Structure formats: structure tokens, C-alpha cells
Structure 1
Amino acid sequence: MVTPKERDDAIFWGVIAFVVLVGAIVWLGNDAGWWTFNFPFWPIIIAWVAFAILVSAIRKIRSREAKV
């Protein structure tokens, strides 16, 4: 049985892995000349990571409140 903490950790790291993968594909596409996508994606990656951390923290707080 998966505990809520394990599930939250899996979701968090899944989001991180997805963002890194998308960033790598965009970077590779730029370097390989597949497209001329000249958009700074680092702010988007930072925003997604911050969002994932925020959601994880909110879920932890809610799970602690539910136990009380």
C-alpha cells in the first residue's frame, strides 16, 4: 500500500522529471536546428518547480490537519 507521503513524493519528482525532460527537448531542438525557438524557458522551469514545491507543501499541511 502506498502512503500519502510516498504518493506526494512520487508526484513531486514526476513533475520535476517532466519539466527537466521538456527543457532538455527544447534545448536539444534549438541546438540541432530543428526549430528556431528563441524563448528563454528557464523562468518557466523555475516557475514549475516552485509550483510543484508549493503544491507539495500544501498537501503536507492538509494531511497533517486531517490527522488532528
Structure 2
Amino acid sequence: MVDAVFAPLFRYFDIIDQTVSKLMFEDLTRVSALRAALAARESVKAAVSEDYAERFRHHLRQQSAILAG
């Protein structure tokens, strides 16, 4: 269950701003290892379409989200 919750959250961090994501997790080696392990899982990769990142960014822009940058 934990993987099912955290995998999408970690994906959001990478989509929104990889620079901030890298800084946020750089000293959290165990969390970074978990992020990498989850991202490598076929089930996590297959959970979204190839254009997911762009569709997510588009959604943020449509909602006038602060994170849309």
C-alpha cells in the first residue's frame, strides 16, 4: 500500500520541477533509493501513459495552479 501511495507523489515531484526535487531529496539517501526503486518498477511505469507528464502540466495550467510555473 505504501508503494501505491508514494510512487505517484514521487512522480509529481519530478514532473513539476526536477531541480527542486533533486535538492529536496539529495540528503535523504534512503528516500532517494526508494524513489529510484519505485520508478524502475514495471507496474509504476505502466500506470501512466507516455504523455502523462505533459497532460499533468496541462492540467495544472488549466487549474491556474501555483505549481504550473
TM superposition score normalised by structure 1: 0.30
Higher helix content, 1 or 2: 1
Larger radius of gyration: 1
TM superposition score normalised by structure 2: 0.30
